[in-house]
Structure 1
Amino acid sequence: MPPTSRPDPDPLAPGAGPFQEVRRDDCPWCGSRRLRTRVRAPEGPRRSPGTFVVDECRDCSHAFRNPRPTADGPIRSDLAGRLRRRHHRTAARAMLPYPEPESWLDVGTGHGYFPEAAREVHPYTAFDGVDPTSRVERARAAGRIEEAYQGLLADPEIIARLRGRYDVVSMFHHLEHTADPRAELRAARTVLRPDGHLLVEVQDLARPFGTLAMGPRWPGRVYERPRPLHLMPLRNLLAELRSLGYEVVAIGSCAPFPPRVHRIIARRTVLPPAPVAPPPDPSAP
Structure 2
Amino acid sequence: MSRTPQAVAARRPAYLAELAQGTDRFHEPPRPDCPWCGSTRLRTRLRTTDLLQHKPGTFTVDQCEVCRHSFQNPRLTPEGLAFYYRDFYDGLYADQAEKIFGPQSSAKRHLRAARALRKYIEPESWLDVGTGRAHFPAVARRVLPYTAFDGLDAGPAVEEGRRRGRIQRAHRGLLTDLAPRLAGRYDAMTMFHHLEHAVEPREELKAAHRVLRPGGHLLIEVPDPESRYAKLLRKWWVPYFQPQHLHFIPLANLRTELRALGFTVVAVDRREPHVPLDLSAACALLLGHCLPHRDDPWRKAPGRLRRRLRQVLVYVAAPAFVVCYAADALLAPLVSRTRFSNAYRIIARRNP
Q: Report the TM-score range of the alignment, normalised by the length of the smaller protein.
A: 0.7 to 0.9
Q: Which contiguous aligned blocks of 4+ residues in structure 1 show a shift greater than 6 angstroms?
A: none
Counting only pairs closer than 5 Å after superposition, residues 15-54 of structure 1 correspond to structure 2 as 17-44=24-51, 46-54=53-61
Q: Could you tell me whether the CA contact under 8 Å between 1:38 and 1:211 is conserved in 2?
A: no
Partner of 1:256: 275
Distance 1:132 1:237 in 2: 23
Q: Which moved more, 1:234-243 or 1:91-100?
A: 91-100
Deviation at 1:227, TM superposition (A): 4.6
Query: What is the letter of the counterpart of residue 200 of structure 2?
Result: D
Partner of 1:267: 349
Q: What per-residue deviation string (whole Å, max 9, x for no partner) do you get for residues 51-76 of structure 1? A: 11110011111001111222223358
Distance 1:265 1:27 in 2: 26
Counting only pairs closer than 5 Å after superposition, residues 84-163 of structure 1 correspond to structure 2 as 84-155=106-177, 158-163=178-183
Q: How many residues align?
A: 251
Query: What is the letter of the counterpart of residue 241 of structure 1?
Result: L
Distance 1:160 1:261 in 2: 30
Distance 1:212 1:129 in 2: 36
Distance 1:73 1:211 in 2: 29
Deviation at 1:28, TM superposition (A): 1.0
Partner of 1:81: 102
Partner of 1:205: 225
Relative distance call for 1:255 and 1:226 in structure 2 (3 A) is farther
Q: What per-residue deviation string (whole Å, max 9, x for no partner) do you get for residues 183-235 of structure 1? A: 1111111011110000111111111134688x6413589xx886521111111
Alignment partner of 2:347: what SS?
A: strand
Q: What per-residue deviation string (whole Å, max 9, x for no partner) do you get for residues 229-272 of structure 1? A: 111111110000000000000111221234521111100003xx
Give structure 2 stretches of 5+ with no counterpart. 1-21, 90-96, 279-340
Q: Could you tell me whether the CA contact under 8 Å between 1:81 and 1:114 is conserved in 2?
A: no
Deviation at 1:116, TM superposition (A): 0.5
Relative distance call for 1:202 and 1:45 in structure 2 (3 A) is closer
Matched, 1:171 2:195: no
Relative distance call for 1:121 and 1:212 in structure 2 (3 A) is farther
Relative distance call for 1:235 and 1:219 in structure 2 (3 A) is closer
Distance 1:187 1:244 in 2: 10
Distance 1:122 1:106 in 2: 14
Alignment partner of 1:206: what SS?
A: coil
Deviation at 1:21, TM superposition (A): 2.2
Alignment partner of 1:129: what SS?
A: strand
Matched, 1:182 2:202: yes
Distance 1:94 1:173 in 2: 17
Distance 1:114 1:159 in 2: 21
Give structure 1 stretches of 5+ with no counterpart. 1-14, 271-285
Alignment partner of 1:26: what SS?
A: coil
Alignment partner of 2:159: what SS?
A: helix
Query: What is the letter of the counterpart of residue 26 of structure 1?
Result: D
Name which of 261, 282, 293 aligns with 1:244. Answer: 261
Counting only pairs closer than 5 Å after superposition, residues 220-235 of structure 1 correspond to structure 2 as 227-235=244-252
Write 1 or 2 for the structure with the bigger share of strand.
1
Structure 2 length-normalised TM:
0.66
Partner of 2:68: 61
Matched, 1:217 2:236: yes
Relative distance call for 1:219 and 1:239 in structure 2 (3 A) is closer
Identity over the aligned pairs, expressed in percent? 50
Alignment partner of 1:170: what SS?
A: strand
Distance 1:45 1:192 in 2: 35
Alignment partner of 1:121: what SS?
A: coil
State the structure with bigger RCO (CA 8 A, min sep 6), 1 or 2.
2
Alignment partner of 1:251: what SS?
A: strand
Q: Could you tell me whether the CA contact under 8 Å between 2:49 and 2:242 is conserved in 1?
A: no
Deviation at 1:26, TM superposition (A): 1.2
Deviation at 1:144, TM superposition (A): 1.0
Partner of 1:279: none
Query: What is the letter of the counterpart of residue 93 of structure 1?
Result: R
Distance 2:151 2:221 in 1: 16
Alignment partner of 2:67: what SS?
A: coil
Query: What is the letter of the counterpart of residue 38 of structure 2?
Result: G
